[in-house]
Structure 1
Amino acid sequence: MNTASLLDNITYQENGKPTVTVLLKTSSTKEVRIVMKTGQFMKEHTAPFPIIIELFDGSIDFGVNGKNQDLKKGDMIALDANVPHDLTCISNCIIRLSISVLDGVERIKSI
């Protein structure tokens, strides 16, 4: 059994980059926490495998294929592999990202 907390050791970086941390790894997924300050963003990118995004706190402007929608605390969205998406933090946020165990966190950190 593995346990983790989305709220322990929260760090908002001042360098303009989100904080990306792997919280749990299972046989099929990696559960990743992304912490962003207001105004930080992740440019348009794709994921090589399906992903699930849950906004645990705050709000983001989430773009999918050029269409934007506001996501707020508690909202979730699932995307198939290779779907272009981007996000901008509207208010300090904590995001839970579920990715394939075959996907690398380095990819996320480089966005």
Structure 2
Amino acid sequence: MTTEPVKLEDTAFHLANFIDYSDDSVVSKTLLKKTTGNLTLFAFDAGQGLSEHTAPFDAVVYILDGQARITIGGQPLSVGEGEMLIMPANISHALHAEKRFKMLLVMIKGE
């Protein structure tokens, strides 16, 4: 469940501590929502995921904690803490928590 963006202006915080895991769930927290893009934190419990889908915009995934299997265009990638990848617009992708993981999703809208 995504919440309304939180007020973070002029506030320093540690991303991984800003969202908590929930048993058998995927938790999301919107940090910033603009016409040019969004910043959203996610926490996936082990075994949880997002099924294959496409998005009309490029997105950057940065893994804050844990381990994820991210499949882009049919190609599975194992991505761990401190690693990031780019999910290109209009290419199918899916996410699965091999272990529980937290990530920052940066959605970039426009050219």
| TM-score normalised to structure 1 length | 0.77
Does the aligned pair in 1 maintain the 2:26–2:42 contact within 8 Å?
Answer: yes
Match of 1:54 in 2: 62
CA RMSD of aligned residues (A): 2.2
Amino acid in the other structure paired with 2:16: L
Does the aligned pair in 2 maintain the 1:25–1:101 contact within 8 Å?
Answer: no
**Structure 1: stretches of 5+ with no match in the other structure:** 103-111
Query: Structure 1, residues 47-96: CA drift from partner, whole Å, max 9, x if none?
Result: 11111111111000111111111001111111221110001101121100
Match of 2:16 in 1: 7
Quote the Cα distance in structure 2 between the aligned partners of 1:101 and 1:50. Answer: 7
Quote the Cα distance in structure 2 between the aligned partners of 1:66 and 1:80. Answer: 13
Quote the Cα distance in structure 2 between the aligned partners of 1:44 and 1:4. Answer: 34
Query: Judging changes above 3 Å, is the alpha-carbon distance between structure 1 residues 42 and 91 closer, same or farther for their aligned structure 2 residues?
Result: same
Does the aligned pair in 2 maintain the 1:26–1:101 contact within 8 Å?
Answer: no
SS of residue matched to 1:7 = helix
**Structure 2: stretches of 5+ with no match in the other structure:** 1-7
Displaced runs of 4 or more, over 2 A: 1-5, 7-14, 24-29
Query: Judging changes above 3 Å, is the alpha-carbon distance between structure 1 residues 53 and 28 closer, same or farther for their aligned structure 2 residues?
Result: same
Q: Does 1:85 align with 2:88?
A: no
Match of 2:37 in 1: 29
| TM-score normalised to structure 2 length | 0.77
**Number of aligned residue pairs:** 101
Does the aligned pair in 1 maintain the 2:19–2:41 contact within 8 Å?
Answer: no
